[in-house]
Chains A and B, each alone.
Chain A
Amino acid sequence: MKRIKNIFILLVIVTLCLSVNALAQKDPVVIGLQGPLTGSAAVEGEMAKQCVETAALMVNEKGGILDGRMIEIELVDDAAQPKSGALAAMKLVSMKEVVAAIATYGSSVTQPASDIYEKFNKVNIAYGATVTELSERGLDYFFRTCGRTDTQGMFFAEEVVPYFEAERVAIMHDNTSFALGLAEEAKKFLLEAGTAELVYFDAITPGESDYTVPLTKLRETNPDLFYFTGYFSEAALIIRQAREIGIDAVFVGGDAAINEDFIRIAGLEYASGCYMTQEALIEYFTNPEAMEFKEKYQEAYGSLPSSPWSVYAGDALMVLAEAIDKTGSTDSDVIADYLKNEMEEFPSITGSIGFDEKGDRVGTGINLYVVNDDGSYSIVER
């Protein structure tokens, strides 16, 4: 008797499982995510994946889009290399079920990848590509949820330099298309403004450990404001070595220069008092979407994403979900048209999002942040 009962229970469970399965059989909406899952920027790729998954969870928990269809993520790796970027994009466009792509981190990778997406008419939203020219190429399907370098360069020249009343400015980059772009925009606006003298403008080689030589040259020019536009890993070494050879100029990093890892590697004694021009940082957001995102992300991964770029990837997913849901279509032209012409002040994770004709985000909030003595940041009131 007991045995029959057991079998009965088992049958019930199996039936239940099958029926739940049948309910979920409704086709998911697949969105591609291209990012550096391996290679030198693997940190960013890993976090972008986590952010997009968290954003997808937020949408799916509210019942998905298009009357209950769930969002699924299709991952492709571009190893942060331009060549692999194009290949990764090819892989995504060859998959019929992928509706749109979130792609990608690094301007030099985004450039070839976005050409591929354009050719195959697929909406692609970059989350970590700020080089100005990317959106000047007349592409119809290219968007970005991050800012542009020229807005940041302008912000540096017209807001930061006067704030510190600097007279002698040094700008250092690392010859990557992102850092060089930001440095040149800053230089351009600085020369236009004419309030301060540009005494140093040169590049370092990323990936090395010893920057004392270029820093010694920089020291000889005696600047009072030092703007480094490269990445955190080099920035941490540079601030340390700069202070050790006696450069006491105010240090301002670009938006890839300063994050938790910068503070950890440089050590608090050097990191505190450093400034940065930066896109919105998720820790300081209090809008409901950001609060929900932070809670879900923390629950799943135990900490918050340490770079803003990955959060913009999450934004890209929210934006795509909204566009597909509102238009009721997964057609690239319909989505692109909706994003450009109808989406205005859509409340996403990092605040309101809209797009202009070129696909650039409308409504970024670049600010000057300072690293406090306890390693936290605060926004500098100007």
Chain B
Amino acid sequence: MSLVIEQLLNGLTIGSFYALIALGYSMVYGVMKLINFAHGDLFALGSYLGYTLLVMGTAYVTSILGIWGGMIAAMLVAAIGSGVMGLLVERIAYRPIYPTGRLPAVVSALGVSIFLQNAIMVVWGARPQAYTSDVIPSNILTIGGLRINILQIIILFLSFLLMGILYYIIQKTTFGAAIRACALDRETAALMGININLIIFFIFALGPALGGTAGVMVGVYYRRISFIMGWNYGLKAFTATILGGIGNIPGAMIGGLILGVLEMLGSTYISTPYKDVFVFLVLILVLIFRPRGILGEKVAEKV
């Protein structure tokens, strides 16, 4: 029994990483109908920014803010850095291309992804880097045979908090209503007096900011970060987006969590080397029987 709970907890943790990254894909797709393939690398960038603040400035940062304060500071720095980079990417690589259609923008996104990945390699080196243990100690709690990493609890708490805040903004505020309106129909929303540019600015800053925060969490939790990590996490998060229903914010959160848990349970009870097969099988089944994803809105084709 304790094995199941341990694996569920592991699945939720990895799922919350996927969910945080998936939100970025989903928000951008919702408003722009563009798959931002550079998003995974913005996540990796956040991880490296947090690493730079924490590991290279260890003594300084943690002496002022304490260990947990330092971690929060690293997340803030990563969020701001990734957010700014997200805006730059939109301005430089996407905006000039929008008028030519959606496909060229997707190709441009892939180009940005390759560029960012290699830029990270040039700046921080090809070697994998580590969030060393003097920065973030790991504490294992043993409760009745159940081994729980305290970091897991903190990461779960923080990511649910972030997702909760985002959910509130999108679903309960006027600004959120404006975003949802843009996702439904950009032209009409503009006619109703919604400042489209502000919305685009917001989603391209907030999506990567959440991704960057997840990057720091991954670094703190697994300790190893590498310049190619963005691709792997990006692919899984993108899968989660589709699973939950692309363009739908709560869908991205649920899709990420489900994917994480499926991955863990699949590899525990079916086969570890085949766990990705299992995950993608579930995705294919969902797409066959419910093409819009778990929470996706019914797509009405515009003619």
Contact = CB atoms under 8 A, between A and B. Distances in A.
B126 A43 contact: yes
A244 B264 contact: no
Interface of A: 38, 40, 42-43, 46, 175, 202-205, 207-210, 212-214, 216-217, 233, 236-237, 240, 244-246, 261, 264-267, 269
Contact of A264 (B130, B228, B276): B130
A216 B140 contact: no
A261 B264 CA distance: 27
B226 interface: yes
Contacts of A236: 130, 223-224
A264 B221 CA distance: 15
A136 B118 CA distance: 38
Nearest to A204: B272
26 contacts: A204-B272, A204-B273, A205-B273, A205-B276, A207-B228, A208-B232, A209-B224, A210-B14, A213-B10, A213-B272, A213-B275, A216-B3, A217-B272, A233-B128, A233-B224, A237-B222, A244-B138, A244-B140, A244-B147, A245-B6, A261-B127, A261-B128, A265-B128, A265-B223, A267-B132, A267-B133
Given A203-B272, A213-B275, A214-B272, 4 more contacts: A212-B10, A237-B222, A267-B133, A269-B133
Contacts of A240: 223
Contacts, number: 81
Given A205-B275, A233-B226, A264-B132, A213 B7 contact: yes
Given A209-B218, A214-B267, A246 B126 contact: no
Q: Is the interface of A mostly helix, strand, loop or mixed?
A: helix
A216 B273 contact: no
Interface in B201-234: 218, 221-224, 226, 228-229, 232
A269 B137 CA distance: 11
A201 B39 CA distance: 37
Nearest 10 A-B pairs (CB), nearest first? A42-B126, A267-B133, A265-B130, A209-B222, A213-B267, A214-B272, A265-B224, A43-B126, A203-B273, A213-B268
A164 B220 CA distance: 34
A40 B14 CA distance: 23
B264 to A, nearest CB: 6
Nearest to B149: A244
Interface in B11-46: 14
A217 B7 CA distance: 11
B128 A210 contact: no
Most buried by A among B147, B218, B267: B267
A175 B273 contact: yes
A216 B7 CA distance: 9
B223 A267 contact: yes
Residue among B149, B223, B228 with max Cβ neighbours from chain A (10 Å): B223
B121 interface: yes
Contacts of A269: 133
A351 B121 CA distance: 34
Nearest to B266: A213
B160 to A, nearest CB: 19
